[in-house]
Amino acid sequence: MLKSPPSPEPTTPYEPPCKALHVAAPQVGSRRKRLWDLEHLCHCPLVGVSLPMDTLRRLVNKALGGNAVANDYEVHAGAVSECARRSKLSELMQAELDARYAREIQNFKLAKSSLAVAELWIKYLSAGDVAGAFWAGLTHPRCDEPLQEAMCKDLHMFQHQAGAGVRLEIVRFNALADENGVLARELARVQERMTRVMGQKSCEMERMTTELMQARAAAIAKDSRIAFLTQDLEALQASIPQLEDKQRLQKRVDQMTARQSELEAQNAELRRKLAASDRAAAERVAAGLALLEMPTPEDKPALQAQPITLHLHHKVVLCVGGRSGNLANYRDVVERVGGRFTHHDGGVEDNVSVLDANLAAADLVICQTGCISHNAYWRVKDFCKRTGKQCVFVENPSASSLERGLGQVVAMAESTGDR
């Protein structure tokens, strides 16, 4: 059973704390003090500060071999009274304090004088870490009675300040608790609003996901129909013999039809202008002014219709390239100057291998470089260079450019004396 605490000893008058201690300590041994070697006034603050209550109760139960039924104050008072002598409980407390504050004990070993111990104690006191430093300082071999008393006074004032700080912290804690309650209620409202918004967004995402799946299914169905139609088209094309030739011929028929419509429109326009010119000429003859007047704008189409002043003497003119819609104009230009017209499209639809035979049969070659394949262009150029056949390269595929090309061929022939 725990002993009751002894009656308090008379206190001494207040002395300056350890911060003002400059008295040299007497030289003693190097052995650290034990708990029961300390002054009785050190036991109460040491047990209260350096040993937590649950640890102290555990040591008391271990020393008694059972569970103590006393309250915290009685356990503290009994432990303080046991510190005055060497007993099982005091030895347990000694071992617990050494193990718990081994780092502080090691740090205080560096102090070789009472002043050095006091400086270390002040350092720990300023940092607020007093539990281990109090035990390590009191048990240090250089800690004398004045230093012990000063340390106890410092710890006493530190406890007062700590109590005031605790009360201030309680006030701050209560204020923070009130603020926390307000923030918690606001957070609850925000969470409720966010939960509602998230629910709406989830419904919207589900709807958009459904629409996306439907769109993907529709796209897959379209791709499948396209694939099936492509297969049917390929099968249909394979079942029709000479489909490509028929398509090419149909394309040329369409081009010729369009060209025929264009020529008919041009013929109608020329007939209209011719009729107007005839009427104008009749009026001028009737007035007797036909020889005095300059040609009118209505006479220009008739003048343009006059044949060019060239003659090819039935030479074969091969036109390579050009536009398929202008073939009739090409033929008309060549035949008006006494030539025979042949054509090769330059490898667009006609076979390129036939080009050599056409070149060999031609007397004159006009290559329209703007509407011809590269292969046909080099074939024409190489053939004419090897054979010395007259060839003119024309960039513009118009009928007027063909006329100028014929003029160049004739001029070349006249300059060489080859008619």
Residue type, 183: L
Q: Is 38 helix (H, G, I), strand (E, B) or coil?
A: coil
Per the prediction, the chain carries an average pLDDT of 79
pLDDT digit string, tens, across residues 72-124: 888 888 889 989 899 898 899 999 999 999 999 899 988 889 899 999 999 98
d(Cα 320, Cα 343) in Å, to the nearest integer?
6
The pLDDT of residue 307 is above 90: no
Among residues 416, 307, 320, 299, the alpha carbon closest in space to that of 366 is found at 320
Q: How far is CA 58 from the centre of its chain?
A: 62
d(Cα 129, Cα 78) in Å, to the nearest integer?
26
Residue 21 to residues 16, 113, 131, 156, 159, Cα–Cα distance (Å):
7, 12, 21, 17, 20
Q: Is 257 helix (H, G, I), strand (E, B) or coil?
A: helix
Q: Which residue has the tokens 């109608």?
A: 268
Q: What percent of the chain is predicted at pLDDT more than 90?
A: 15
Count Cα atoms within 13 angstroms, Cβ side, for 211.
6
Measured at the CA of 104, the angle between CA 100 and CA 105, to 5 degrees, comes to 85
How far is it between the farthest Cα atoms of the chain? 165
Residue 189 to residues 178, 180, 360, Cα–Cα distance (Å):
17, 14, 97
d(Cα 128, Cα 166) in Å, to the nearest integer?
14
d(Cα 121, Cα 133) in Å, to the nearest integer?
6
Amino acid 400: pLDDT: 78
pLDDT digit string, tens, across residues 184-197: 999 999 999 999 99
pLDDT digit string, tens, across residues 336-393: 888 888 888 877 666 667 788 888 888 888 888 777 888 888 888 888 988 888 888 8
Q: How far is CA 313 from the centre of its chain?
A: 76
> Cβ of 393: how many Cβ atoms within 10 Å?
19
What band does 417 get if pLDDT is binned at 50, 70 and 90?
Answer: low
* Beta partners for residue 316, in sequence order: 340
> Which H helix or E strand runs over 182?
helix 145-239
CB-based burial, 225-241: b 16+ in 10 Å, e otherwise: eeeeeeeeeeeeeeeee
Residue type, 298: E
> Cβ of 373: how many Cβ atoms within 10 Å?
15
Assigned token pair, 273: 């202008």
pLDDT digit string, tens, across residues 210-245: 999 999 999 999 999 999 999 888 888 788 777 778
pLDDT digit string, tens, across residues 371-385: 788 888 888 888 898
What are the φ/ψ torsions at residue 254 (nearest 5 degrees)? -65, -40
Amino acid 214: pLDDT: 93
Mean pLDDT of 247-261: 87
